[in-house]
Amino acid sequence: MSDTDFDEFSGRATADDVYAAAQHAFRCPTCDRLHVFWSGLAEPSTVYTREG
């Protein structure tokens, strides 16, 4: 989450609010691919592999 995105929270934001608004990325320990959930965890991830 960028600073600009975070600054859009007004008043007190809960950790759940911030977590839900963030993009999530996970590295698979088996295949070493990076899974990025650009549109939330309910949507499919974009999968990236290492070059080289």
The better pLDDT of the pair 34, 16 is held by 34
Q: Is the pLDDT of residue 31 over 90?
A: yes
The contacts of residue 50 (CB under 8 Å, 6+ apart) are: 32
Which H or E run contains 47? Answer: strand 46-48
pLDDT band, residue 28 (cuts 50/70/90): very high
Predicted TM-score (pTM) above 0.75 = no
Report the length, in residues, of the chain: 52
